[in-house]
Copies of this chain bind each other. A is one copy, B any other.
């Protein structure tokens, strides 16, 4: 009989395979972006909401909420991306504490060039391997896990926190 506090063989196998899949999937996506578009995964994650924003401008606060990052992480990443010319920072006219992050022309071209290959890679290495039922099952599992973690820790780390929807 299984130790209720340990994992049985089936569970161990799943946890191990799941871990491996995450690692190899991350590596493949990172490499595709780096090779074909000279972008890191962090770059890409921020460029998408910036590209879709009205006027291609967002306040750090709002970009944080959109991607579920904390301000510190975003600030460090913006410094690096500003140095590479992908974004620029301007003062905010409505709140003197704030700044506005603007997508540069170079950043716009980078994300537009990167997106088709990125989506193709997500399809090839993940989504095209799933049946429609599996897509729904994964969505359901992810929602369950997120709900449990959110209830437990009292923090909603994802986009659209309790205070902004």
Contacts and interface: CB of A to CB of B under 8 A. Distances in A.
Number of copies: 2
Nearest to A133: B137
B124 A5 contact: no
A134 B135 contact: no
A24 B148 CA distance: 10
A148 B119 contact: no
Contacts of A129: 141, 144-145, 148
**Interface SS of chain A:** helix
A139 B24 contact: no
A21 B146 contact: yes
A68 to B, nearest CB: 7
A17 B146 contact: yes
A6 interface: yes
Contact of A138 (B18, B119, B124, B125): B18
Interface of A: 5-7, 10-11, 13-15, 17-18, 20-25, 27-28, 68, 116, 119-120, 122-127, 129-130, 132, 134-139, 141-146, 148-150, 152-153, 157-159
